[in-house]
Structure 1
């Protein structure tokens, strides 16, 4: 049985969490599936973007109840091994060089906020509820914190993580977790606008930009100087860069642009 459904249309992969009967909550099988899916998508050169969404009434409710029951009897080492797999899933999504757009509706609790954090853009319906619920269970939003802190505004998101309060889409947007808040039912229209924007861009340029942004904060200043100047030189000399520059100067559409 597959807990994640992948479809493709117009060079976009749609990855849908598919456990609506348990509010798309994580279990080890779903974690393994998502890790493999995004690892495989990274190798695809024919795609322009990925959309991450959930089936049913909510995006994702976090950890599966039965999985949580099993955790009660885990040893420290079992818990650590389990957590490393969860980290690996978030890392696979974050490191995928395709732009990832999250479509969030209904609710995103606990680990689901890790999924929100690893998306490059997030469209959320205005009635969506968010919660870093871990502290209410006596645990911590530890694994997701590495990804949340890279994306969110620290002064905004820290009290949300410490208190475990439920917050809305507008607060999530202020915290930097959500890009756009839309009325219920209008997410598809907003998504099409976002995807259209990516179709105007050089696909390799988008991938190389994401790789660069992912790596910058791990590099020394000297390495940043070397990396950034190398990337722009490579992009200018590339076939895609040459086509983009020439089409601009010649006032025509570049060959890779899709309308």
Structure 2
């Protein structure tokens, strides 16, 4: 496969799409990997489940990352399976000491098995638990302290939750330990009228671009940044245009300093 004519520097893949897979999917992935660094971003680790992490899942994930050597492995602060039953959504977790201990143990288990740090992403949510004793950003910060994990900071998810649950998104970002932020996601939401829905089906909204720009002093320089687009995917050159918007904003922080370009994938 010939290398495409693009200035994109790396790609992110959904881990589960390539676990236990050969044939064309793996052939395409390995072809991309010859020319580009990649990250493996999971949706099925279920760090927030009260069950133990599935050992077969971890074994299969390790086989994948040993094969393609991603520069980052990540998943979500969420759960989606319990006692063998799997859901096709990322369900939020309650934010209290008991769940903190369970999830910290799961992250330790994963990092020990994979022999590397992982990044944990903040999710969009549509309900909250009355049992929570802290908010999500406080919870994430404590997780980094207890486990040494990193944070994949999704700016769109923060904005969606801030609108749906009425909090200041900058207060959220300021609470996250800056040194723990290792990657940023951007995406487009859908306005459902009485709430925002994280669909990844539209361009990044101006409010999210503005939040990214406002957040620059709380985000490390040179942090990899990408745009997710899962439905109604436009032509590739339009995706590159979205990437360049992100690059322009991130480069404001660097002023006249030379820096690595920000990144993108869908």
Q: TM-score, normalised by structure 1?
A: 0.34
Q: TM-score, normalised by structure 2?
A: 0.33
Q: Give 1 or 2: higher helix fraction.
A: 1
Report which of the two structures shows the higher radius of gyration computed on alpha carbons: 1
